[in-house]
Amino acid sequence: MRKIFLLALALLLLTLGISWFAVRITAQPAPESAAPSRDADTTLTVLQGGETRAVSMTEWLPGVVAAEMPASFEPEALRAQAVAARTYILDRAAHHAQNHPDADLCTDPTCCCAWASEAALREKWGGEADENLARTRAAVSETDGQYLVYDGEPIRAVFHSSSAGTTESSEALWGALPYLVSVSSPETAADVPNYVSAVDVSADDFRAAILAAHPSCALDGDAAQWLGEAAYDESGRVSTQAVGGETLTGAEMRRLLSLRSTAYTVQYADGVFHFTVTGYGHGVGMSQYGANVMAKAGSGYADILSHYYPGTELVTAP
């Protein structure tokens, strides 16, 4: 009898305890959530012209899409761009750039992403402004609140103009991320203006550009001997280039010589280095021209995004 009484008492205390615990849990105030929401409810702090101001994603994102991708691109490519840019901005808002710790993003395309005002776009587009503005705004509103996640977090959804058959891995440039790996990209010279560019650099200009960053490079005597072997990575881009007894990265060669990408070959003849360069941009993440080719072939924006950011999930904010 005493045993049963003790058991009942224990059960009663346990039940009371659980309900008290449950009340404690549910009574906790909801943490202030930085979780993404629909565009109109997502407020961003933007650094522009030295000033910081608050804007909604609805206000801001169409100007990014319009500045980053030609408005003439297929609607599904524009939607893919809207989702990629929205995701990129959400990641930026969660991890501020070092040069603006108090702002979610800025308007410098080399730091965050490009943005154009409606006035600037109207001037650029002239008679096509109304139609183009409608196309870019539709790409945003039709994907309202949609973004890409990996492990539950918005991904670093970088993108570039065009690739040379395959995209670059982030590992080759900035450190490995599981969804920024080398994948095929379908654009060709038939799809992309200036897809293969020729750049001629005189030996004098070459020497000046390289020595400015690497003063100890041995660039004297016969210029035909200055360049050594280039090593290519799995995406067909130059990973390293031997120059004047030193080893530069392909990315450094691109920056110092203003090449459109690191997918290059080079020949020297008669005092001139002849570079042949394919594609435009760093090559990581979504290729915009590749997205447009995929859209023309019938792919939807979700297919395009899962191709260029493999292993990620497209989600919609509540």
Binding residues for Zn ion, per CB under 5 A? 97, 106, 111-112
How far apart are CB 290 and Zn ion at their closest, in Å?
Answer: 25
Residue (79 or 100) nearer to Zn ion, CB: 100
Distances (CA, A) of 45 to 102, 146, 263: 8, 20, 36
Could you tell me if 307 and 185 are in contact, meaning their C-beta atoms sit under 8 angstroms apart?
Answer: no
How far apart are CB 81 and Zn ion at their closest, in Å?
Answer: 19
* Secondary-structure breakdown of the chain: helix, strand, coil percentages, each rounded to the nearest 5: 40, 25, 35
How far apart are CB 43 and Zn ion at their closest, in Å?
Answer: 17
18 φ/ψ angles, rounded to the nearest 5 degrees: -65, -45
Identify the DSSP state of 184: B
Residue (42 or 182) nearer to Zn ion, CB: 42
Could you tell me if 264 and 249 are in contact, meaning their C-beta atoms sit under 8 angstroms apart?
Answer: no
E-state strands within 16-95:
43-48, 51-56
Q: Which two tokens stand for residue 72?
A: 């003439």
Residue (97 or 314) nearer to Zn ion, CB: 97
What span, in angstroms and rounded, lies between the C-alpha atoms of 135 and 66? 9
Q: How far does CA 121 lie from the centroid of its chain?
A: 22
How far apart are CB 263 and Zn ion at their closest, in Å?
Answer: 27
184 C-beta neighbours (distance < 10 Å), count: 13
30 C-beta neighbours (distance < 10 Å), count: 5
Question: Residue type at 125?
Answer: W
How far apart are CB 92 and Zn ion at their closest, in Å?
Answer: 7
Residue (51 or 270) nearer to Zn ion, CB: 51
Residue (99 or 247) nearer to Zn ion, CB: 99
How far apart are CB 282 and Zn ion at their closest, in Å?
Answer: 16
Residue (117 or 141) nearer to Zn ion, CB: 117
Tokens 């183009």 label which residue? 132
How far apart are CB 88 and Zn ion at their closest, in Å?
Answer: 11
Residue (112 or 177) nearer to Zn ion, CB: 112
